[in-house]
Amino acid sequence: MSKKEIIKVKLDIEVRDKDGKIIQKHSQKSHSFLLNFLKALRNLFDVYVGTQVTGTYYTANGVESITDPSGLANTQTIIGNTTPIMVLGVKASSGDATFGIQIGSGTNPVSINDYNLQSRYGNDVFTRGDTQFGAIQVSGNSASFTISRDFTNVTSSYQNIYEVGIEAYINGIPAFILRDILSSPVSVPPNGVVKVTYTIGIQA
């Protein structure tokens, strides 16, 4: 493949103390889309759209299995009538720890076959805010949008973040599609808030 990157992903992290003062910023290039992402993308493309008396129907050929956070491989079934039921959703609501942007304390190197963070934080350590999406921004032959989420440290001690990722719902199956190990950890004080932002872009 060409060295030119068609899809570019950037990771930005901002830490604020309990008074809202910015105390740390971290930025790095994200390299780590996982195999689940490619499988989900192929499944989205591999849908046949036809018509029948009751309306449009959708079916898939040779769909790829998606590995959920427990390690179970789930075969995708994409058959519907009126609308396709295959989605790639990451818009988790406040307090929802089952999907969306996730953070953790694991340090194992990323593998393309990863299906979870090594050690993700639960709501007993970091409560989660709503997932926010930015509008698509176009500049010349490049375009991008952002996905962000706030996490609040609800413990009485500093908590370090070493890994970040995105867990999507793919046709009802939770699955990690991206995981990054931070080039340097960020430390969040008690009652502090960390904002994680992924910028996903394309270039012609």
Helix segments in the chain, DSSP class H: 35-45
The model's pLDDT over 155-165, given as tens digits with 9 standing for 90+, comes to 999 999 999 99
Least reliable range by pLDDT among 11-15, 38-42, 58-62, 180-184: 58-62
Q: Output the pTM of the full model.
A: 0.86
Single-letter amino acid code for the residue at 92: A
The pairing of strands 47-52 and 55-60 is antiparallel
Q: Are 197 and 148 in contact (CB under 8 A)?
A: yes
Between 84 and 182, name the one with better pLDDT: 182
For 23-70, the pLDDT digits (tens) are 999 999 998 899 999 988 887 777 655 554 455 544 555 467 888 899
Q: CA 158, CA 151: separation in Å to the nearest integer?
A: 13
Per-residue CA distances from 92 to 83, 129, 153 (Å): 22, 8, 18
- Residue 69 has what pLDDT? 92
